[in-house]
Homo-oligomer: A and B are copies of this chain.
């Protein structure tokens, strides 16, 4: 199970990836796990959270916009994005946001 990411004090960036899947999930789980591992190795990566029950929501956290752009353009990630688009996802939306405030359970 994914846990709440231990992000630093704001500001930082969040990439919210919301997706609906097709019935053809061949290779999906392996690629998702590999992308999570690979993202964590990128410069500027701060954390990752995900959940799915029908709709999937994955949020990755980053120190700056340049790091997000580099990750989007990373070669192995590009292939995963293309496969996601053509095979695994019937619909998705990516939102890039600046986290300005956060608060936790005391």
Contacts and interface: CB of A to CB of B under 8 A. Distances in A.
Interface in A53-106: 53-57, 59, 85, 89-105
Contact of A85 (B18, B55, B59, B105): B105
Q: On chain A, which size bracket covers the interface? A: 35 or more
Nearest to A61: B95
A9 to B, nearest CB: 11
A101 B95 CA distance: 6
A1 B51 CA distance: 13
A16 B16 contact: yes
Task: Report the 7 A-B pairs with minimum CB-CB distance, sorted nearest first.
Answer: A1-B54, A97-B97, A51-B51, A95-B102, A97-B99, A57-B57, A2-B55
